[in-house]
Amino acid sequence: MHILILGAAGMVGRKLTERLLREGRLGNRDIGRMTLHDVVEPARPADAKIPLKVIASDFAEPGAAATLIAERPDVIFLLASIVSGEAEADFDKGYRINLDGTRYMIDAIRTAGGGYKPRLVFTSSIAVFGAPFPEKIGDEFFHTPLTSYGTQKSICELLINDYTRRGFFDGISIRLPTICVRPGKPNKAASGFFSNILREPLAGEEAILPVSEDVRHWHASPRSAVGFLIHAGTMDLNTMGARRNVSMPGLSATVGEQIAALDRVAGKNVVARIKRVPDPTIIGIVAGWPRDFAMERALKLGFTTAEKTFDDIIRIHIEDELGGKFAA
Amino acid sequence: MHILILGAAGMVGRKLTERLLREGRLGNRDIGRMTLHDVVEPARPADAKIPLKVIASDFAEPGAAATLIAERPDVIFLLASIVSGEAEADFDKGYRINLDGTRYMIDAIRTAGGGYKPRLVFTSSIAVFGAPFPEKIGDEFFHTPLTSYGTQKSICELLINDYTRRGFFDGISIRLPTICVRPGKPNKAASGFFSNILREPLAGEEAILPVSEDVRHWHASPRSAVGFLIHAGTMDLNTMGARRNVSMPGLSATVGEQIAALDRVAGKNVVARIKRVPDPTIIGIVAGWPRDFAMERALKLGFTTAEKTFDDIIRIHIEDELGGKFAA
């Protein structure tokens, strides 16, 4: 089979690529080749045993999408997206990439002809929900985005449901929790601190905690995110009926619980590297974010996390990113 | 003030135009002029005391929207839309008019410049909801369209919420119930019979009832629909917060209750003109339609119907369409 990954240069895209190359199969089918796409050329993994094609293009340019599906990939992972902060700061760019880009892609599939009907896995986000909402957001809570990013993701979910219903492809939209621990350097995203306060201390660096310890949020490890994508790429989607959009499972934890887990896994010295510097702007933004989710539907559909506790989330980071060691 | 009506040649558009011309004001502001737009030239009402401009164009053509707002209307009623059946039969046309057309319009407003920030009233539909749903659909039930039309309306609601949040205009999307009694000739819309079984017998004609009498549906009179639009065009929308989409109030009635009301208002001879001819296709389509709605939010926001009972709905039709007389 042929797999196309859009957004392959991003964090989740890279990890998905690595796992698919390592396993050589998706579900019970061997992977014959893969196409990796992003707006910047994705790194070509070393020692890949599967034929790889690497493409850099702007998929929101008319015509680009048709090129990407010219070789009729069987499964398409559509991870490409402008992040929340950028979609809010640059209105035109956000709509162009997150809405028009997705639409060019699904219309290219729709009009490809020859009975082409791939699996399409789209990464949506819990940003489709905005306050006020219940402490635990249910599987039938309505689209209430409070950002342009969340609006764009909501719209893409609706499009993918409709295009699937019309038989143009076999689609699913999965809403990822906030990924924690996010590897890489600290960034200025308002959500960055959820990872920074774990990743930086484990690397021997100080990290800033800008909110109080009672802030609760919804997390999943990068390993879980890749697992969700693989399951979405292989499961029988007909079990979902017409509602092909679903919130993924995760772990609800307060910042205090995150820090307690870090203490258990890595010890006091590591925890001591967290500096408390309240930031009223970030406190305000985070106050409007989801804290917890009912996940009955996702579990029933067979989606599972790689972690049972927040301690596991930290251990997964140490295993997958730090070669099993941290700065004690 | 200057009012622009898009879709002015349609049934609701004509009735809204008539009422605005009759009253000469919207809320507490005098109407200085009106622009009536549709894809076919709307009829120019006789004896209009307000300066009227009539425009025929395809608002889904690039550039058309900018022309329509060139004179900076203060209130825009966006009623223009391809109906459900046509949007399902012609995929491209449905998305072009119902999604792209709306988007051209809201982007024209967004980029108009000079601090232009009109009121935008968008007619959405209960087609944003698809089965399975509760017997009574609540104000926080999620978008679950099962038609391309319902998908397009859902998407426009989300866009109008986001554009409003960003400050580009002051928008609201109101979800109209099925309009009953719909004036005019019988049409082939699956929902047509809800009106046909009242309108045709009142005009001395036979009508076909294709479903059983226990089919329940959600109705409002044309007079109510115009009332909702006027309220949406004048109320303080800030009371809605960021959620500018709301289901309108209506009356939930079974077909049996509709017929009983016809009997009370017009008598046995009229009712006898209804012929029962079950149609499995229509029975199947109607089974997936909303039956009843919680309307707490709409009532709290000041939306009210012109009718208290289904008898009133029939009386309104006799008053507004038949000059007070029917074929007994």
Q: What is the CATH number of the domain that holds B58?
A: 3.40.50.720
**Alpha-carbon torsion, ordered A6, A11, A14, A15, to 10 deg:** -120
Tally of structural domains, chain B: 1
Is residue B66 a contact partner of residue B108, using CB atoms and an 8 Å limit?
A: yes
Distance, CA of A106 to CA of A100 (rounded, Å): 10
Q: Is A165 on the interface with B (CB under 8 A)?
A: yes
Structural domain boundaries enclosing B63: 2-177+221-247
Give ipTM to 2 decimals.
0.95
SS3 content of chain B, % helix, strand, coil (to 5): 40, 20, 40
Is residue B79 a contact partner of residue B5, using CB atoms and an 8 Å limit?
A: yes
Q: Is residue A300 part of a domain?
A: no
Distance, CA of B288 to CA of B300 (rounded, Å): 28
For residues A27 and A165, membership in a common domain is answered with yes
Q: Is residue A187 part of a domain?
A: no
A25-66 per-position pLDDT tens digit: 999 999 999 999 999 999 998 889 999 999 999 999 999 999
Classify strands B33-38 and B52-56 as parallel, antiparallel or unpaired.
parallel
* pLDDT confidence of residue B159: 98
Diameter over CA atoms, chain B: 62
Question: What average pLDDT does range A100-118 have in this prediction?
Answer: 97
Q: Is residue A186 part of a domain?
A: no
Which one of B84, B147, B154 would you mutate to disrupt binding with A, by most A Cβ within 10 Å of its Cβ? B154
Contacts of B155 in chain A (CB under 8 A): 155, 158-159
Phi, psi of A217 (to 5 degrees): -150, 175
Q: Is residue B289 part of a domain?
A: no
Is residue A185 a contact partner of residue B182, using CB atoms and an 8 Å limit?
A: no
b/e burial code for range A242-252 (CB count within 10 A of at least 16 → b):
ebbbbbbbbbb
- Residues 6+ positions from B151 with CB-CB distance below 8 Å: A158, A159, A161, A162, B145
Q: Is residue A281 part of a domain?
A: yes
Averaged pLDDT, groups of 10, chain B, 328 residues long: 97 96 96 97 91 96 95 97 91 97 98 97 95 92 93 98 98 97 85 96 97 97 98 98 97 98 98 97 88 97 98 98 96
> Helices H, strands E: what count in chain B?
13, 14
Is residue A188 predicted with pLDDT exceeding 80? no
Nearest CB to B158 within list A141, A143, A161: A143
For residues A199 and A259, membership in a common domain is answered with yes
Q: Is the overall model pTM greater than 0.80, yes or no?
A: yes
For residues A119 and A34, membership in a common domain is answered with yes
Q: Is residue A326 part of a domain?
A: no
Amino acid at B174: I
Q: Compute the radius of gyration of chain B from its Cα atoms.
A: 19
Distance, CA of A115 to CA of B166 (rounded, Å): 41
B198-239 per-position pLDDT tens digit: 999 999 999 999 999 999 999 999 999 999 999 999 999 999
Contacts of B243 in chain A (CB under 8 A): 144
Phi, psi of B101 (to 5 degrees): -60, -45
* pLDDT confidence of residue A85: 87
